[in-house]
Every structure is written in C-alpha cells, then in structure tokens.
Amino acid sequence: MLLTVFCNYKKYTKKLNLLYAKVVQVQDVKWQHNRCSFELMEKPPSSGKSQLDEENGLVQAAEDVDPHTSRKSSSRKSFRLDYRLEEDVTKSCQDKHGRWINPWSTWRFPSYFTLLRFLLLDKDNSKVPSSREALDVELPVMEPYFVRNPDLSESGPGLRPKSITCSVYGPKEVQRAPCTVEQLPRIDAVVISHSHYDHLDAGSVASLNARFGGELRWFVPLGLLDWFVKMGCENVMELDWWEENCVPVHDDVTFVCTPSQHWSKRTALDDNKSLWGSWTVLGPEHRFFFAGDTGYCPTFKEIGQRFGPFDLAAIPIGAYLPRDVMVGQHVDPAEAVQIHEDLQAKQSVAIHWGTFALAHEYYLDPPERLREALEQKGLKPESFFVLNHGESRLISSPHGDIFD
C-alpha cells in the first residue's frame, strides 16, 4: 500500500474555537451505513457470542445498500463490535446532555480564568517570522513525490489525514499547503479526527468531494455524519471508538476508529456534541496509526496491546505551551515519545506543528524537544522522524519498502 503522510502542523491562535459563532444547520437526514468486515481480529468471537451479536443486531447482513446512493458495500460478515464487549477496552461515553466526555483521569480542561490569562496576559514565544522568505528558510515547503513524479502515485490508495487549507473561521495558518487537491493521487479514504477547524476544513472537504465524489469514503467519529451530508458527501462512514470498517474495493484494509483524549467544537453551542478519535489502519501486512489531536492518556497502551506493533504512527508534537492550558488536549514531545512506545510503533512521524498558530512555544522548538526526548530514552532519531511540508520518505521494513 502506498501511503502518503502529510505533516499536519498547528499552533494556537488568540481566537480560540470557543468564540466561533457560525451555526451549521443540521440536516434531518440519517444514512444507513455500508459495512464491510475485517479478518485480522485478534480474538474472533465464539459461536455463542456471534449468535448474541446477531440477536442484538450487531452483525451486519450480507450486503448493505445505501438508500440515497444505491451504493453497495462488500459482503463479508462484520465483527466490528467485538472489542467493545471486552473489559479492558475503554469505551466512549456521554454525559446526560449527550455531550461526549473523556473517560480518563488524565483529562483536564482549563478554567475560564486560565483561558483568559492565556488569551490576554501570557507571553507568546512562538516568534513565527512574518515574511514568507524567512519562514521558507526554516520551514521549507517541498514538492510531494506525486507532484514530482505523477506516475508513481497510482500504485495504491493514498491517505490524507488532514485538511489542506483552513477556513476563515479557524486558526491562523502559518505555512502553505504543499499541493492542491487536483495534484493529489487517487484517494480512496480520508480519516477525520474531530470537528475543530484546523482538522476539518470545509473548503478542503468540498474540493475533495468535487474531485472524487462518492468514490471517496470519509471515515468520521460519531456525530459528524450530518455535517458531511450537508457538505454533499455521499460515502460517509460514522464510527464509534473501536468500531471498524473498510473501503469496499479495498476490503483487505480496515479502518478502526480508536480513542484519543481531546474535545470538539465548531459552533457556539455544539461543544463535544461530536466524538473525537484516532485512527488505526490495518492492512494484510502493515499497520498504520494516526493519533489525530490528543493529550496523553492510557488509551495508547490499549491500542498498542490490541493492534500493535505498528509499522508507522503519526503522532503530534506541537502546540503544547502553556502546559496548564494544553496538557489535557495536546501532548508535548516527551509524551509523544511515550505514545510511540505505548503503541509499539516501529517508526513514528511527527505531525501537528509548524502550520497553524495555536500555542506559545517557540515555533521551531517541537522537533528540538523531540530529539531530546528520544535521546533521553535511548531511542534513535530515525525511530521518530520529522518531515518538511510536502516531503516524502520511503520507509523500509523487513517486508520491503512500504510507505512513501
């Protein structure tokens, strides 16, 4: 599988998402989801449990048909909820108002006093250069391999786990995207981590939908289906933590919505109305993990135990200062290295720094702190590497070169 990993960098803006007031109309449309199955489950169900699942409606019929598109999914039997029946998996949960909550004691959200201090008083040390020329020296934007050599881009599905541009409502973008939607190779699937503007950009979704239409499957956490329907997307798979599905024409690759510690907000009143998550991508020979946006929490050990070792994990390293504001929602580089170990990742790539103005650390500090954290743990720099915007890297494994 050819996998394209883009560095999703971000930093904090002074205009927090809290202040967004654009209300998205929610359409009263529900879709029947196409489901397909996965054969690499570690603990296949006993026949008794299979029967129980079927009685509870947890196992899909042989073939689902979307009432809006008449699109059919592949037909293997689904074991998608098996994990949720096991005690050692942390399930998603909501409060009595239907808002999703983080189930770990590691979750913190800053008080209004702390937020006001952050917005009005704290010193911003990010020092992002104001000129494009100066920025390009430190954060060069490179041509992705598929722009340099389009012939290489058709050898498999590409993944683009993040937005290409950010809407006017989102945080300020520091560095430009390395390519346009038109330059991307064929895309079969996109995974969405949560609703924040720097991770879910309406313009990017519209452009991808205009180019690929129903051939592109959107994997989204619970609560985001209606937003995608409103955007005109036809092929949306909304999943809870530990649920899995696949792209019908590539049903040997399974996408699992896995937990992360974060929050969601897009409008004035929709705090935590949609779920957030990480994504585990399981192929017949290789495994990839996308952490999304997250603070440190015990779930990464669970994910590592269940799905590890991963061949490659994309883990955030930026937007971590001031710590008392960010600790619950954004890992620092030392915690990112801990996640790399928890996941049993053979290699990790740093994401979530250098693109959006989000936090107060010096804008070039995250990779520096990452190097220090790796050194402290006796890990090689290549085990958790940093890419420039648009940079491509071929990653070798005992099975041969697998990622570009």
Kindly tell me the sign of the dihedral angle through the C-alpha atoms of 261, 204, 255, 266: positive
Q: Which stretch binds Zn ion (CB under 5 A): 147-155, 191-199, 313-321, 364-372?
A: 191-199
What percentage of the chain's residues is helix, strand, coil (to nearest 5)?
Answer: 25, 15, 60
Least distance CB 199 / Zn ion (angstroms): 6
Cα–Cα–Cα angle for 291, 136, 327, rounded to 5 degrees: 30
The tokens for 53 are 């699942």
Residue nearest to Zn ion (CB): 196
Least distance CB 14 / Zn ion (angstroms): 16
The tokens for 21 are 């007031």
**197 appears as a binding residue in the annotation:** yes
Pairing of strands 278-282, 250-258: antiparallel
Which one, 196 or 306, has the nearer CB to Zn ion? 196
- Residue the block writes with tokens 């996998």: 3
Q: Is residue 196 close enough to count as binding Zn ion by CB under 5 A?
A: yes
Least distance CB 164 / Zn ion (angstroms): 17
Tell me the one-letter amino acid at 15: K
Q: What are φ and ψ of residue 402, in 5° steps?
A: -125, -35
Selected binder of Zn ion within 293, 332, 365, 404 (CB under 5 A) = 293
Which one, 198 or 238, has the nearer CB to Zn ion? 198
- SS3 (DSSP) at 65: strand
| CA 307 to centroid of chain Cα atoms | 16
**88 appears as a binding residue in the annotation:** no
What residues form DSSP beta bridges with 72? 65
Least distance CB 244 / Zn ion (angstroms): 23
400 conformational bin, left if phi > 0, alpha if psi -120 to 50, beta if neither: left
- Site size for Zn ion (CB under 5 A): 2
Ranges within 41-80 binding Zn ion (CB under 5 A): none
The tokens for 173 are 């973008």
- Name the nearest CA neighbour of 259 among 204, 227, 307, 217: 307
Q: Which stretch binds Zn ion (CB under 5 A): 87-95, 126-134, 241-249, 290-298?
A: 290-298
Which one, 308 or 333, has the nearer CB to Zn ion? 333
Segments of 130-235 assigned E as strands: 158-159, 187-191, 217-221
Q: Which stretch binds Zn ion (CB under 5 A): 172-180, 239-247, 267-275, 291-299?
A: 291-299
Ranges within 112-141 binding Zn ion (CB under 5 A): none
Q: Which stretch binds Zn ion (CB under 5 A): 96-104, 220-228, 289-297, 308-316?
A: 289-297
With beta carbons less than 8 A apart as the criterion, state whether 276 and 253 touch: no
Which one, 35 or 360, has the nearer CB to Zn ion? 360
Distance CA 219, CA 190 (A): 6
Least distance CB 320 / Zn ion (angstroms): 13
Q: Is 137 exposed, middle or buried (0-12, 13-18, 19+ CB in 10 A)?
A: exposed
Q: Which stretch binds Zn ion (CB under 5 A): 141-149, 153-161, 287-295, 359-367?
A: 287-295
Q: Which stretch binds Zn ion (CB under 5 A): 143-151, 192-200, 376-384, 385-393?
A: 192-200
What residues form DSSP beta bridges with 312? 288
Least distance CB 102 / Zn ion (angstroms): 13
Least distance CB 153 / Zn ion (angstroms): 29
Tell me the one-letter amino acid at 135: L
**194 appears as a binding residue in the annotation:** yes
The tokens for 11 are 């930093």
Quick note: the x/- pattern for Zn ion over 241-280, rule CB under 5 A, is: ----------------------------------------
**199 appears as a binding residue in the annotation:** yes
Least distance CB 240 / Zn ion (angstroms): 19
Q: Which residues are annotated as a binding site?
A: 194, 196-199, 262, 265, 269, 293, 330, 352, 357
Q: Which residues are annotated as a binding site for deoxycholate?
A: 265, 269, 357
Q: Which chain residues interact with Zn ion by CB under 5 A?
A: 196, 293
